[in-house]
Amino acid sequence: MDYQIVDIVEVYPDSYTQAIELTPMYCLETTKDTTKECLNVMRDFVNSQLRNNYNHLKRCRKLNEENVQILMGFCAELPDDLLSKIVKINGGKPITIKMVHASKHPPMTRKQYAEWSLHWPLYYRKPENELRTLEKEEIKKFIHFVKISIRVGKNFGTYQGGCVLTHNDKIIACSGDNIKNHPLQHAVMLTIEQASFKLRYLWKIKREVNMGRSDYSSKTTDCITKHVQNAHTSECPPGPSNKKCKIGSTEGGSVSGGSTPNLKCEVVDEDEVVDSGAADEEDLKRLSMRNPVEDDQYLCTNYYAYLSHEPCFMCAMAMVHSRIKCVIFDGLNPDNGALFSRAKLQFVKNLNHHFKVYRTVRSKS
């Protein structure tokens, strides 16, 4: 029975789904009227106990209409000088110290906040990656391009791996993997190479236009997407020796219907590319229209990557370096998955770039 993609969910850190971990602490009981004064006297002692690791814990909680519990920290006893001050504030009455259990980690979701606060009151600070629900149109768009990446992988990947890069919902580059012939030619690596080639040639033509001369003809702009076949011929079926293929899509530029568009393989004659004409402003305009690539950006900045499978560590780091904005993948990679299965590189703070990650949810049709 076939499994259909029915939803897209964001990948969050493990801390968003972890169960509560309690740690034993101690608190003292005092009256409501003396709470503020006791807190002022105990501030330095409590801070030395909790430091900055427990800022999510409130320093006191209401026990009943008259009494309040003040969190002391990990010590079961107060220093003699501090204890005498507290007793004096409390009107000479003895101080009751009890053990309590509080959450060791701050809550990352409102659900955790509600459940964990039952043990000891907490602060909830909105995390950087707050849980959000995708709009229906976003889900529809993501599923649309993921299906294209799956189709690319099945048609052109030696191991059915496919990758599609988009910018402003237009396909910039796509490729299947060539792992059977070269261990490093994963679909992500080849697709980034393809996008980089387009950007590099756009720079070249723009530079030549500004200099008023060029060795490239206007026909070069028509063939700008056919560059990677020398490196991975598995992307297209074999053809005549003087011809290459490029992947195109009649529906790739827009989202419609939800069905996977038909991919086509267009044949380009290499002999038509070689010419001695000069590039002009029209060439640059035509190139920009055919290839929606920003010529003043760094690699794949603000691109969306749609993958047929969860990327490995090499591909994930390549997307970090390329400044991908968002990654959406379908199949899990239990052995080498870098964004969900084995690790979550997108949450490593030491990296100099981070992107959002989504994965598909499949259900039996």
Q: Using alpha carbons only, how large is the chain's radius of gyration in Å? A: 30
Architecture of domain 17-116: 2-Layer Sandwich (3.30)
Q: What is the pLDDT of residues 88-118, one digit of tens each?
A: 998 888 889 999 999 999 999 999 999 999 9
pLDDT category of residue 244 using cuts at 50, 70 and 90 = very low
**Residue limits of CATH 3.40.140.10 in the chain:** 136-364
Please state, in angstroms and rounded to a whole number, the distance separating the CA atoms of residues 182 and 335.
Answer: 20
Please state, in angstroms and rounded to a whole number, the distance separating the CA atoms of residues 324 and 158.
Answer: 24
Instruction: Give residue 72's region: left, alpha or beta (phi > 0; psi -120 to 50).
Output: alpha
Q: What is the pLDDT of residues 120-177, one digit of tens each?
A: 999 999 887 777 889 999 999 999 999 999 999 999 999 999 999 999 999 999 999 9
pLDDT category of residue 229 using cuts at 50, 70 and 90 = very low
Does domain 136-364 sit in CATH 3.40.140.10?
yes
Yes or no: say if 39 and 89 are a contact pair by the CB < 8 Å rule: no
Alpha-carbon 261 to chain mean position = 26
**Residue limits of CATH 3.30.70.240 in the chain:** 17-116
